[in-house]
């Protein structure tokens, strides 16, 4: 399998080259040159597999010629061995309107990013050892990616990881999870700005070729294709439990950066029968506005009760755009350049029609989020976090409005443990969520982090001075 850039000027590369590069040299994002396809019979045969076996089966076509399915299975078994639920990604049926909740918080940092990050750290170890290299990972987080990355990569000999998070714009639990990590090569940085500023600085650092080569820069944000691969797995795992491939399913995904939704779209390209993707946004509703109007228009980021979705530049949308433009790298690059310069772009009506056939979008403000948390507790005796509430609302609206037929199961992704956002959850549900035992003392742990100005030179200077082997 080989990889190309969405902007048409980088590649083809091998899987491990794309993994270590992270962001393409032309500023685009890597995708495989073609989508592997499973037959209906092949998907049906996956029903008896363990989660690690399923992960290896799904990811093997993307690493063909480099990493075998057996190697992937061993890596996945190691990655998910510390997850607290035996199903790894358990599914709870709500028995109302054929709705189901996919609980993605049994990993060490109790958020869905663990599914990718724990695997990714093993993938980096293998690739760096094979290449005889060191890497500096630079990432931006709106809350959960950072803690998952620092936890997964801490103390690894060949990697230093630096995570930028927006100062004062993550939950206290999210911040503690990042800043309480004390290990060689693990660095949390509070940036004076919002998440979009953090993300822009990461991309700017990658686009500085001399700096990139000097430090061996790589990425673990969802701009890295290998970050999305393990996320495809839980779409298959949950769909199989509700009747796929014999019946179609739908997914409702709370999202800001579009990476989790795109992983589901990849699953559909591989043969999983997904009828509709419901894109669920908070008050930062750039994606909802796009799917309603066909115009992508950047606005200011407004803090909300679901801070991991407080984003106005959805990086992974570029991958879907590339696909919907017939894999035309030149056209994709032109639209992304326009967006960078003007903060807006639109797509042709026929492109919009194709997108709306597969995607629907909803938004939910803070008041509605609290109401959804309350409703879920009263109706199902289930306590959910604010992001999961946004996703569940989207699922309910799609069903109530007839967008998805009653016979089609809708799976809403619950992307974080409610204890990561105790204030909102307590206010909405009347229940104070408790952290799992392994994090019970989290809020008493000592913090270790630096505060850095929103300035590329300052961030680069900090990395150069702090990385091991400098």
Asked if residues 369 and 424 have their Cβ atoms less than 8 Å apart, the reply is: yes
Strand pairing category for 217-218 and 249-254: unpaired
Distance CA 240, CA 388 (A): 21
With vertex at residue 260, the alpha carbon angle to CA 259 and CA 263, rounded to the nearest 5 degrees, is 85
How many Å separate Cα 165 from the centre of its chain?
15
Distance CA 353, CA 8 (A): 24
What are phi and psi for residue 345, nearest 5 degrees? -155, 160
Q: Tokens representing 81?
A: 């061995």
Distances in whole angstroms, Cα of residue 50 to Cα of each of 37, 87, 91, 325 = 21, 8, 15, 37
Give me the torsion for CA of 10, 12, 14, 15, rounded to 10°: 70
Is 113 among the residues known to form the active site?
yes
Q: Phi/psi zone of residue 436: left (φ > 0), alpha (ψ -120 to 50 degrees), beta? A: beta
Distance CA 62, CA 229 (A): 8
SS3 content of the chain, % helix, strand, coil (to 5): 50, 15, 35
Q: Tokens representing 383?
A: 């306590």
| DSSP per position, 142-200 | SSHHHHHHHHHHTT-TTEEEEEEEETT-S-HHHHHHHHT---TTEEEEEESS-HHHHHH
Asked if residues 255 and 279 have their Cβ atoms less than 8 Å apart, the reply is: yes
| Strand, coil or helix: 251 | strand
Alpha helix (H) residue ranges in 294-365: 317-324, 329-342, 349-358
Catalytic residue among 40, 47, 113, 129: 113
Catalytic residues: 113
């Amino acid at each position: 399998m080989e990889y190309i850039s969405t902007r048409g000027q980088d590649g083809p590369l091998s899987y491990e080259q794309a993994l270590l590069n992270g962001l393409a040299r032309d500023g685009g994002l890597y995708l495989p040159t073609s989508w592997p396809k499973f037959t209906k019979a092949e998907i049906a045969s996956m029903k008896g597999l363990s989660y690690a076996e399923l992960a290896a089966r799904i990811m093997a076509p993307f690493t063909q010629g480099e990493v075998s399915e057996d190697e992937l299975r061993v890596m996945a078994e190691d990655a998910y061995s510390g997850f607290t639920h035996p199903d790894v990604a358990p599914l709870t049926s709500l028995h109302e309107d054929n709705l189901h909740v996919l609980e993605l918080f049994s990993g060490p940092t109790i958020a869905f990013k663990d599914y990718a990050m724990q695997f990714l750290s093993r993938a980096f170890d293998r690739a760096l050892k094979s290449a005889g290299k060191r890497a500096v990972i630079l990432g931006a987080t709106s809350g959960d990616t950072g803690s998952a990355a620092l936890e997964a990569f801490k103390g690894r000999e060949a990697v230093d990881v630096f995570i930028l998070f927006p100062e004062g714009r993550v939950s206290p639990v999210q911040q503690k999870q990042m800043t309480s990590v004390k290990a060689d090569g693990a660095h949390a940085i509070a940036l004076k700005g919002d998440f979009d500023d953090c993300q822009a600085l990461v991309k700017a650092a990658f686009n500085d070729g001399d700096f990139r080569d000097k430090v061996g820069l790589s990425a673990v944000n969802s701009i890295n294709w290998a970050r999305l691969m393990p996320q495809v797995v839980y779409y298959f795992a949950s769909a199989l439990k509700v009747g796929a491939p014999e019946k179609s399913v739908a997914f409702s995904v709370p999202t800001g950066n579009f990476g989790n939704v795109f992983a589901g779209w990849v699953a559909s390209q591989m043969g999983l029968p997904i009828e509709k993707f419901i894109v669920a946004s908070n008050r930062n509703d750039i994606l909802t506005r796009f799917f309603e109007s066909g115009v992508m228009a950047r606005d200011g980021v407004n803090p909300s009760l679901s801070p991991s979705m407080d984003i106005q530049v959805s990086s992974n949308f570029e991958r879907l755009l590339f696909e919907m433009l017939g894999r035309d790298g030149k056209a994709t690059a032109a639209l992304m350049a326009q967006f960078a310069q003007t903060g807006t772009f639109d797509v042709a009506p026929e492109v919009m029609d194709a997108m709306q056939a597969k995607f629907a979008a909803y938004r939910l403000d803070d008041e509605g989020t609290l109401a959804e948390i309350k409703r879920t507790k009263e109706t199902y005796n289930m306590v959910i976090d604010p992001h999961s509430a946004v996703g569940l609302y989207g699922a309910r609206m799609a069903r109530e409005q007839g967008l998805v037929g009653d016979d089609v199961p809708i799976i809403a992704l619950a992307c974080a443990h409610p204890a990561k956002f105790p204030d909102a959850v307590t206010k909405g549900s009347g229940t104070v969520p408790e952290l799992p035992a392994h994090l019970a003392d989290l809020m008493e742990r000592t913090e270790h982090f630096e505060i850095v100005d929103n300035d590329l030179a300052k961030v680069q200077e900090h990395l150069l001075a702090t990385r091991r082997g400098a």
